[in-house]
Every structure is written in C-alpha cells, then in structure tokens.
Structure 1
Amino acid sequence: MASRLSFANITALAPMVRVGTLPMRLLALDYGADVVYCEELIDIKMAQCRRVENEVLQTVDFVAPDDRVMFRTCEKEKQRVVFQMGTADPDRALAVARLVEKDVAAIDVNMGCPKEYSTKGGMGAALLSDPDKIEAILRKLVSGVSVPVTCKIRILPSLEDTLTLARRIEKTGVAAVAVHGRFKDERPRHPVHCDYIGAVARAVAVPVIANGGSLDLVKTHGDIQAFRVAAGASSVMLARAAMWNPSVFRSAGPLPLHDVMIQYLKYALRYDNHAFNSKYCLCQMLRDKVESALGKRVQAAQNNQELSEAFDLVGVFEETQAALEARRDALQSPERLRDHVIAVDGDVTTMALKFQRREYPPQLTPKMFLLEWSRRQKLEQPTYQTVQRAQDRAFQSTVTVENRKYRSSLWEKSKKFAEQASAVVCLRARGIPESHVGQENGGRPHKRKTEDGRDVGQEKRTKQTGDGERETGGS
C-alpha cells in the first residue's frame, strides 16, 4: 500500500478554477511541484458522476450524466494529486470523497474562495461563518475515507477568531491546513498578511501551507523559500505565479515561456483536454502579450488542431491523433471483442466498441445484416434513436429489436456510424453471425439474400433500404 501523502515541507500547485486541470497539474509536477491540487469541483455535480476507466487515454474519468468529463486523472499523478471539492453538506461530501478516493492522494475542502460560484449554497469562504458545519464536514471525511483530508481557509478579520477556527479544524483530524493570507473581502491586489499565517502555524501542530504570495513575494523559484520563512509556514502553495509560468517550480530556474506553453499544449493534446480550457490556460500564461500575433492566433483557435497550428505543432497534433486512433483500433481488435464485457444498464445492453468500416465487405453494413436477420425471423424492423453530445458533437445511437435495446458506450463522429455501432452491439450480444467472421471463397463474402430473394451485395449503393436510411459506400 502506498504511503500517505505528507504535507510537511512541500511546494504545491494551488487549486485554481479552469487552470488546475490535468495538463497543468502534470506540467507542474514535471517542473518540481511536490503536490498538485485540482480545480474546485462542486459536490452536487460530482455526486452525479460515474467513474470510467478511459483505456484510450489511459486515464480515469469522472463523467457527468451529460457526458462532460468533470475530473480526469492518470497514474502519473495518482500519489500526488489532491482532489478539492466545494461542499456545504457532510453526507454529500463523503459520497464524493468515496467516489474518488482510490484515484487521488488526498481530499481537500475549499473554505477560502470568496467568488460567488463558490460561496453560493454556503460553500467556499461562506463556510468561515459556520464553524459547526466546518467541523461536521471534516469529521465526516476524516472518519470516512482512507486518504488524508485537508482544508483551505482564508483568515478572519480577528486574529483571535482565526486561531480559534484553526485549532478547531485541527481537532477534526485533518492532515494539514492551507491558509490564504487575505480576508474574505480582499483580492489579489491587496498585500498578503504573513503575520496571520505565521500565527496559525504556531497555534497548531499540523503542517500549515502558506498561500497568497504571488503578488509581492514570489516571482521566481528562489522566492518560494523566502515566502515560507516570512509566513512561518511548513509549506507553500502557488496559484498565479504558477499559472503565469509553471516552471517557477524549477530549482534550476524558469524556462522561456514559449517552451513552457509548448509543453503544456503537448499534454493537452495527449490527454484530449477540452480546447477552450487549453486556450484559457495559454492566454493566462501570455498575460500582457495576449494581444500579440501569437496571442491573437490562440484566442481565435476553436479546436486543438488550430491551437497546434498557432504553435507550429501540426506534426505533433497529427502524431498524437494517430497514436490515439491506433490505441482505439487495438482495443477494438477481434481478440479483444471476443472477450468484451457486455453490460446491462436498465433495459439497455451495451458494449464499448466502435463501427470499423473496413471489417465489413463492400456495400454491406451491420445495419443491413441486422435488418435481414429481423426479416428472416419475421420480426418488426429495427428502429434507431440517436442523440448528439453538445460539447464535441459526437453521436450515440440505440437500436431496438424485439423490445430490447442495444447501444455502444463509445460515441461516434457521425450519426451513421453511431447507428452502425449500435447494430454491431445487437448482432454480437445476440450471437447473430456477421459476414466478416469466417469469410470463405478466397476472402469474398457469401451472397446474402433479402426476404424477396435479391442479393444484398448487388443492391446499388444509393438504393433505399427497408429501414428508411439511404446507404452509401462510406457508411
């Protein structure tokens, strides 16, 4: 069993909304961060997610009902990533923590963010005025999960109240407390109160992580230790300094920003990060150069390919896409599919597979095989219902045969391919032979007959099929 994460004498990437996604976390670890926090994720949304092992990306994804990936992580960061949640409910917090605890190194509760998206519903800095709820949440988590639990707070207007809260938090059994040295109504332009952080560090025995030094105190890696000493804290976490240039974690000194951005984008491509999130992070790195020629190209980009073009990384983009496609194909090999697990979700039978056009004879498709089989069995013809996913316009189809439903859990690039994939699931789940299995006659498929005696393979490419779809050679 892996050792528990220590928060003593560490330098961490602070939790930052829209910034602390997987590419930025991995980059910070590469450059020397000891621990990385994900962006704050709201418990209500996370509680609805399902855990999915993404074999293509080699990640673990937590996927919302609308198929958005709320949190993505991988083996490389497993022992050093802290999952931060926004919560105001002990039971819901525990449910979310148990959902993710096997894939993260620790759980953190956000009690410091003053923004409305965090404070609404009593989360974030709103918790600072409800110490009873703070204690209830933390005790529930500490006793309910196997990984360390921490929290991140802001200082209160009174030093005495701040110390009282810190001591009360310590008694819940947390592994560390991160302290942002600003009051709830202060913003990054205000100086950080190192004296408050130091007082908290002296008042409790658990490690205290100082936060808030990016404005005045931390410009380079050498400043991190100076901030640690000024705050009297065990550890330091960096937000904006790391957002502007993650190589601030390098003991050997920062790298040119352009090189850092390229490395970030390579991770974004490798892990299929949403293009608009990648664009946001790149623009934060550009800062006052966001209106430069490069900045304008980044802002104009609408997808990962266009982001790659902005940095002259078209070759990297194509290689990455080819590698991911090869992995998809390998996962869909006949050997894998023979042993593929069939899942039943309610009244829907699912398999994780895609329609591979090259596996079928010319002018023949799984839909045609399924239609022919249904006619021979004197069943009603199959019906298809297809939905489109908003974020990437991918398609998923469900086919109904004999009042039973079948679909692929993988999404396709077109409506046609989605329908074909659902037909494949139906054929394989029911054990209906497909012509590409056991072909004879020198590799040529057997001629298959429709109910009226015609050769299916001789139908014209644009002939209207019995299920109402116009088939083409590219389907």
Structure 2
Amino acid sequence: MAERLSFRNITALAPMVRVGTLPMRLLALDYGADVVYCEELIDIKMAQCERVVNEVLHTVDFVAPDERVMFRTCEQEKERVVFQMGTADPDRALIVAKLVEKDVAAIDVNMGCPKEYSTKGGMGAALLSNPDKIVAILRTLVTGVSIPVTCKIRILPTVEETVSLVRRIEETGVAAVAVHGRLREERPRHPLNCDVIKAVAEAASVPIIANGGSLDLVKTNADIEEFRKKTGSSSVMLARAAMWNVSVFSPSGPLPLEKVMEDYLKYAIRYENHAFNTKYCLCQMLRDKVESPQGKLLQAAQTHADISAAFGLQQFCQQTEEELQKKRSELQGDCPPDALRMEGDVSTMAVKFIRREYLPHFSPKMFLLEWSRKEKLQQPLYEMAQRSLDRGFQSTVTFAGKRFRSSLWEKSKKFAEQAASVVCLRVLGIPEGRIGDEESDLVCKRKRDGRTNGTTEEEQSSKRHSGDMRPEAETPHVNGDTPPEKS
C-alpha cells in the first residue's frame, strides 16, 4: 500500500477553477511543487460520472453522461494530487470520494471559496456559517475512505472564532487544514491576515497550510519560506503566483515565461485539455502582454492548432494529434480503419479527412455534389453535431435515402462534412478525388480549374443545404467558465 500523503513541510499548487487541470498540475510537479490540487469539482456532477481508463492518453477519466471529462488524472501525479470537491452533503461527498479514492492521494473539501458558483447550495465559504455540517461532512469522509482528508477555509471575524472552528475540524480526524487569511467578503486587494494564520497554526495539532500571499508576499521561490515563517504554518499553498508563472515552485529560480508557456501548451496538447481552458491559462500568464501581437493571436484562437500557431508549435501540435489518432485507430480492434459498420440506420467508417491527400480544387463534397447532379438525385444534406468535451465536430450526410458519417470527430465543421462525404462515396463506390486516384470526368474542367464568384459550387451548396448544427451536449461548465479562486 502506498505511503499516505504528508502535508507537513510541503509547497502546494492551490485549487483554481479553469487553471488546475492536468497540464498545469503536471507542470507544477515538474517545476518542484510537492502537492497539487485539482480545481473544485461539484459533488452532484461528479456523482454522475463513470470512471474510464483512457488507453490513448494513458489517463483515468471521470466522464459525465454528456461525455464531458469532469476530471482527468494520470499515474505521474497519482501519489501527489489532491481531489477538491464542492459539497454540502455528507452522503454525496462520500459517494464522490469513493469514486476517485483509488486514483488520487487525498480528498479536500472546499470551505473557503466566496464566489457564487461555489457558495450556492451551501457549499464553499457558505459552510463557514454551519460548523455542524462541516463536522458531519469531514467525519463521514474520514471514516469512509482510506486516503487522507483535508479542507480549505477562510478566516472568521475574530481570531477566537477561527481557532475554535479549526479545533472542531481537527477533531474529525483530518490530515491538514488550509487557511486563506482573508474573510469571506474580502478580496485580493485586502491585506492578508498573517497573524490570524499564525494563531491558528500555534493552536492546531494538524498541519496548517497558509494560503493567500501571492499578491504581496510571494513573488519568487525564496519568498515561499519567508511566507511560511511569517504565518508559522507547516506548509504553503500558492494560487495566483503559480498561475502567473508556475516555475515559482523551482528552487533554482524562475524560468523565462516563454519557456513556461511552451511547456504548459505541450502538456495541454498531449493530454487533450479543453482548448478554452488552455487559452485562459495562457492569457493569465501573459497578463499585461495580452494585448501584444502574440496575445491577440491567442485571444482569437479557437483550437489547440490555433493556439499553437501563436507560439510556433504547429508542428508539435500536428504530430501529437496524428500520433493520438493513430493510437485510437489501433485500439478500434481487428477491423481496418475503413471497415463499414452500422450505427442504427447510419453507415459509418473510421475516416479522417486529410486535406493534403486531395488536389487543391478537389474535395469529396464536390464529387458527391456532382454525382447527385449526374444521377438527378436530391443534393446531399448535412447535419452537424458538436462534442462539448473537446469541441469536436461530426457530420451526418443524407444521400439517396441513406445516411453516412465518420465515427471519428473532426476539428472543424468543414472537415467533418468532408469526412462524412468520404464515407458516403466509399460505400457507394464513387470516386472521391484523392491524389493518385484514376482521373474522373465527374467534375468538369471549369470546376477543376477555378471557382465561381470567389466560392466553389460545393461551398455554395453547403450554404444552401447544410442542416442546423445540433449540439450533442451543452458547452462545458466543467472546468468552468468562471475565474479561478484567488489566493
């Protein structure tokens, strides 16, 4: 059995919404953090998740019914990642804790975040006014799981009240308490109450983790030890200082921001982080340079490919995505990638549209459109679905009374429609216009050589006949659309 995680004399990456996903946690560990917390995840949403081993990424994913990946972790962080949940219900908290306990090092309950997304339903800092519920939640968790349980709080109006609360908390058997040295209604512009954290640390028998010093007290790695001494705490937890430059954890000094951003982006691509979360984190790192030419490219980006272009990592992104796609194809079983399968009334193949395999003015959609005209059939009709977990697209084309699509998801609507066209053409045995294929007279010379009014007929047809996009799932809240909890 693995040794239990210790919270004494550690430096930790704090839980931050939209920031504390797997890429940032791994980078923090690379740079010297001892422990990393995931972003706060709500118990109701996590309780619906299924634990899935992702053989492509070599991760463990907790996947919601709508296919959103709520939490992703891997072996590299298993012994040092703390799962933080938002909860106001002991029984539901235990369900979630037991779901993840084999894949994380500890469980933490958020009792400090003052933002509405956390406090609604009595979670987060709202728990500070209900000590009995705090005790019930923590006691249920401590007795119900085999890994350490901790919590993160804010200070109360008086030192005495704060110390009293922490003493009640430690009686539940928790392994540590993180204390943010501001009141529930205070924000980062307010001074940090180091004296209150120190009073708590002196009174408590469990390790106290000091939090909240990023703005004024911790700017370099050397400042971490000073913050620890000033608060008398066992350990230190960093949020914004790490968000701005996570190499603050490195004892050898900060790395250039360009290097940090590149390392982070590589992890984000490698582990298929949500592109909007990746973009958010990189913008936070740029800070006052977010309006620079690079920053403007980043702000306009929609995919990891777009983000990579802003950082000169196009080749890395393309190679990584191709490698991951190859793994997916290999894991599909004994059937070749282009084997025909039926999904209900839809003919499917595992087909990826690769633009460079076709001549510049040729495309599968164009060939399918011309075939419909030649055979006097109704023109193809495309329906679009969007997958929320990675904003991938999948198109289904209806042609000659039958439906076709690729089982693979594409990075754009245009590519998804092309992939669906490829499946249709291959099933029907119609030329698709690939380089090296026998020349076909299906597309006349005018269409081979040029465009009409600046647009191909294929594009004009798409505008006339493409169906409304039907969202497969809502835009993810997961790893949310709210700013991080501030230290």
Post-superposition CA distance 1:13-51 (Å, at most 9, x none): 000111101111011000000000000011111111111
Aligned to 1:222: 222
How far off is 1:458 after superposition? Answer: 11
Residues 143/276 of structure 1: CA separation in 2 closer, same or farther (3 Å cut): same
Matches of 1:257 and 1:233, distance apart in 2: 29
Aligned to 1:74: 74
Q: Which residue identity does 2:29 align to in structure 1?
A: L
Residues 264/171 of structure 1: CA separation in 2 closer, same or farther (3 Å cut): same
Q: Which residue identity does 2:303 align to in structure 1?
A: N
Post-superposition CA distance 1:252-289 (Å, at most 9, x none): 00000011000000000000111111000000001111
Matches of 1:76 and 1:61, distance apart in 2: 14
Aligned to 1:266: 266
Determine if contact 2:351/2:408 at 8 Å carries over to the other structure: no
Aligned to 1:100: 100
Aligned to 1:61: 61
Aligned to 2:322: 322
Aligned to 2:166: 166
Provide the alpha-carbon RMSD of the alignment: 3.0
Determine if contact 1:191/1:215 at 8 Å carries over to the other structure: no
Structure 1 residues 227-376: aligned runs within 5 Å: 227-334=227-334, 355=350
Aligned to 1:344: none
Matched, 1:91 2:91: yes
How far off is 1:328 after superposition? Answer: 1.6
3-state SS of 1:262 partner: helix
Q: Give the percent of matched residue pairs that are identical in Structure 1 and Structure 2.
A: 68
Residues 67/416 of structure 1: CA separation in 2 closer, same or farther (3 Å cut): farther
Matched, 1:39 2:39: yes
Matches of 2:427 and 2:93, distance apart in 1: 61
Q: Which residue identity does 2:48 align to in structure 1?
A: Q
Residues 296/135 of structure 1: CA separation in 2 closer, same or farther (3 Å cut): same
Q: Which residue identity does 2:2 align to in structure 1?
A: A
Determine if contact 2:42/2:86 at 8 Å carries over to the other structure: yes
Structure 1 residues 50-199: aligned runs within 5 Å: 50-199=50-199
Matches of 2:107 and 2:395, distance apart in 1: 34
Q: Which residue identity does 1:389 align to in structure 2?
A: R
Determine if contact 1:386/1:418 at 8 Å carries over to the other structure: no
Aligned to 1:370: none
Residues 395/124 of structure 1: CA separation in 2 closer, same or farther (3 Å cut): same
Determine if contact 1:355/1:420 at 8 Å carries over to the other structure: no
3-state SS of 2:72 partner: strand
What 5-or-longer segments of structure 1 have no aligned partner?
Answer: 338-347, 359-384, 398-407, 422-456, 463-471
3-state SS of 1:280 partner: helix
Q: 1:389 aligns with which of 378, 387, 411?
A: 387
Matches of 2:420 and 2:169, distance apart in 1: 51
How far off is 1:191 after superposition? Answer: 1.3
Moved more, 194-203 or 242-251: 194-203
Q: Which residue identity does 2:153 align to in structure 1?
A: I
Matched, 1:461 2:456: no
How far off is 1:322 after superposition? Answer: 1.9
What 5-or-longer segments of structure 2 have no aligned partner?
Answer: 338-342, 354-382, 397-404, 411-415, 432-441, 443-487
3-state SS of 1:183 partner: coil
Matches of 1:202 and 1:336, distance apart in 2: 65
Q: Which residue identity does 1:142 align to in structure 2?
A: V
How far off is 1:196 after superposition? Answer: 0.7
Q: Which residue identity does 1:288 align to in structure 2?
A: D
Matches of 1:166 and 1:156, distance apart in 2: 10
Determine if contact 1:209/1:235 at 8 Å carries over to the other structure: yes
Matches of 2:144 and 2:97, distance apart in 1: 9
Matches of 1:53 and 1:7, distance apart in 2: 29
Matched, 1:9 2:9: yes
Matches of 2:349 and 2:9, distance apart in 1: 48
Post-superposition CA distance 1:294-316 (Å, at most 9, x none): 11111111110010000011111
How far off is 1:185 after superposition? Answer: 1.0
Determine if contact 1:412/1:418 at 8 Å carries over to the other structure: no
Determine if contact 2:350/2:408 at 8 Å carries over to the other structure: no
Moved more, 68-77 or 121-130: 68-77
Matches of 2:430 and 2:14, distance apart in 1: 58
TM-score of the pair, normalised by structure 1: 0.75
Matches of 1:103 and 1:415, distance apart in 2: 39
Structure 1 residues 19-34: aligned runs within 5 Å: 19-34=19-34
Matches of 1:171 and 1:7, distance apart in 2: 17
How far off is 1:327 after superposition? Answer: 1.4
Q: Which residue identity does 2:7 align to in structure 1?
A: F
3-state SS of 2:101 partner: helix
Post-superposition CA distance 1:153-179 (Å, at most 9, x none): 000001111111000000000000000
How far off is 1:393 after superposition? Answer: 3.9
Matches of 2:385 and 2:278, distance apart in 1: 27
Determine if contact 1:29/1:35 at 8 Å carries over to the other structure: yes
Q: Which residue identity does 2:96 align to in structure 1?
A: V
Determine if contact 2:351/2:422 at 8 Å carries over to the other structure: no
3-state SS of 1:210 partner: strand
Matches of 1:72 and 1:458, distance apart in 2: 37
Post-superposition CA distance 1:127-178 (Å, at most 9, x none): 0000000000000101111111000000000111111100000000000000
TM-score of the pair, normalised by structure 2: 0.73
Matches of 1:295 and 1:270, distance apart in 2: 22
How far off is 1:202 after superposition? Answer: 1.2
